[in-house]
Amino acid sequence: MCTNCGCNGGKQYTVQGDGFSVDHTPPGETVIVDVHRALLFDNDQQAARNRQRLTEHNITAINLMSSPGSGKTTLLERTIDELLTRYRIAVIEGDLETENDARRIRAKGVEAVQITTGNACHLDAVMVGSALQQLDLKLIDLLFIENVGNLVCPASFDLGQHRNVTLLSTTEGDDKPEKYPLIFRASDLLLISKIDLLPLLDEFDLQCAADSFASVAADTPLLQLSAKRGDGVTQWLAWLNDTHQQLQRSS
């Protein structure tokens, strides 16, 4: 009978703890080892390291998530145009293939690191960690991480960001939040994008979208936006500004 790990020396050996406790089970035996550990434990630890590095450099990191084609890169282009005189900006671009988005950002005079994930449907903390190595963090105030266009997987992976911003474009269904509750639930701000197209889209009802969002994300704020025409851009910039100030005060 072992008093350290609780194994009873009988038929069933069990080692309690987190997977790495002392094990007094005799050689050759079969043993149940308790683990009780999140599968994404490694990712979450790396995300915490990323967040700490970013915070130490007074950087506000925003993770942008949405379906493909909802206007993340266009929003970034507009944001850079509006904010580049006030903030030093950098972008991490996640895509399955191509450097196209990074090129669009670089054309604005902003540093962009492209992560091509190959077959992976989301960014993870390790990918973002190595992208951070390629950036001079001393020269950044705002870091945008444009996640892979996907409403499912990115929600599960903490990258080390400070805030999540999700886009829902008017060309998608207004019931998307309830269909993909996790990603909308994880949002700190929802942007309903491409509202300049609303007159052409009878199927998209702003009130339905807002109700659908509220049912999964309670009182999380929501903005209507057209990066192209400029609607809502002032409010979006104000949100970014407030978020940055708030994080500066708390760090």
Partner 1 sequence: MHELSLCRGVLQQVTRIAEAHHAIAINAIHLHIGPLAGVEVELLERAFPLVSRGTIAEHATLEVTRSVVTIYCAKCGNRCEPKRLFICNSCHSSVTELLSGDEIRIENIVLKKRVQTDHVH
Which of 3, 10, 11, 36 binds partner 1 (CB under 8 A)? It is 36
Binding status of residue 9 toward partner 1 by CB under 8 A: no
Kindly indicate which of the ranges 49-57, 79-87, 216-224, 229-237 contains the residues binding partner 1, using the contact rule CB under 8 A.
Answer: 216-224
Written as one letter, the residue type at 22 is V
Q: How far apart are CA 238 and CA 222, in angstroms?
A: 13
In the complex with partner 1, which residue's Cβ is closer, 48 or 182? Answer: 182
Binding status of residue 178 toward partner 1 by CB under 8 A: yes
Which of 2, 84, 96, 120 binds partner 1 (CB under 8 A)? It is 120
Q: How far apart are CA 97 and CA 85, in angstroms?
A: 31
Which of 107, 139, 182, 238 binds partner 1 (CB under 8 A)? It is 182
Q: Quick one: tokens of 249?
A: 């005060």
- Cβ atoms of residues 212 and 219 within 8 Å: no
Binding status of residue 20 toward partner 1 by CB under 8 A: yes
Picking from 223, 229, 216, 176, the residue whose alpha carbon sits closest to that of residue 66 is 176
- Cβ atoms of residues 173 and 151 within 8 Å: no
Q: Which residues bind partner 1 (CB under 8 A)?
A: 15, 19-20, 23, 25-43, 120-122, 124, 150, 152-153, 155-156, 178, 181-182, 185, 214-219
